[in-house]
Amino acid sequence: FKDTPVRISLMTTIGVTERLSTWNQRTEVHDWKRRAERLVRASGHPYTIVRPGWFDYNKDDEHRIVMLQGDRRHTGTPEDGVISREQIARVLVSALSNDEAKNKTFELVAERGEAQQDLTPLFAALRTDHRQKNDGILDMDNMPLSEEPECIIHELNCIPAKLKT
């Protein structure tokens, strides 16, 4: 399997860059999801990182998929955005074979309107993540590497060497 191409489709969560919420302060779940994102970006493999809104809170007329960047919705409630599990699955699977989704990080919500048949224009409208950055394009720079656990820094430093073997 060593020569088999790898393409990663990772799902984290909308609001993952919000570090000061009570939920994250208590559990660090957003921080750990963000660390997973960083490791995927550093892997050197093509990837798509999807940050869905609240699962299955959408109304009957909310079928239009919207992809956002910058992770600016931080209420910690469905007001951040909603999306059906079926829509999440469709986007995650489509991202694996759509070159327009390559090396992009985005938030995923559904809004009022009809479902799009083709996701390519949505992927194409997104900005590609910077190769030298740890976080998604337009993300807040509020999680310095210098404050990361040693195990994460170690893995981030080891990834390039692991890719060569």
Domains of the chain by residue range? 8-164
Mean pLDDT (whole number) for 156-162? 76
Which pLDDT band holds residue 1 (cuts at 50, 70, 90)? low
Return left, alpha or beta for 28; rule: phi > 0 is left, psi -120 to 50 is alpha, else beta. left
* 152, pLDDT greater than 80: yes
* 158, pLDDT greater than 90: no
What secondary structure does DSSP assign to 23-86, as a single string? HHHHH-HHHHHHHHHHHHHHT-S-EEEEEE-EET---TTB-EEEEE-S----SSSGGG-EE-HH
* 164, pLDDT greater than 70: no
Mean pLDDT (whole number) for 110-134? 96
Tell me the percentage of the chain whose pLDDT exceeds 70. Answer: 96
* 124, pLDDT greater than 70: yes
DSSP-assigned letter for residue 117:
S
pLDDT of residue 96: 98
Max alpha carbon distance in the chain (Å)?
50
Tens digits of residue pLDDT in 13-49 = 999 999 999 999 999 999 999 999 999 999 999 999 9
pLDDT of residue 163: 56
Mean pLDDT (whole number) for 138-146? 94
Amino acid code (one letter) for 77: T
Burial of 111 from C-beta contacts in 10 A (0-12 / 13-18 / 19+):
middle
The sign of the CA dihedral 143, 149, 152, 157 is: positive
List % helix, strand, coil for the chain (3-state, nearest 5): 40, 20, 45
Identify the weakest region by mean pLDDT among 25-29, 101-105, 143-147, 158-162.
Answer: 158-162
pLDDT of residue 157: 87
Mean pLDDT (whole number) for 139-162? 88
Could you tell me which CATH number the domain at 8-164 has? 3.40.50.720
* 161, pLDDT greater than 90: no
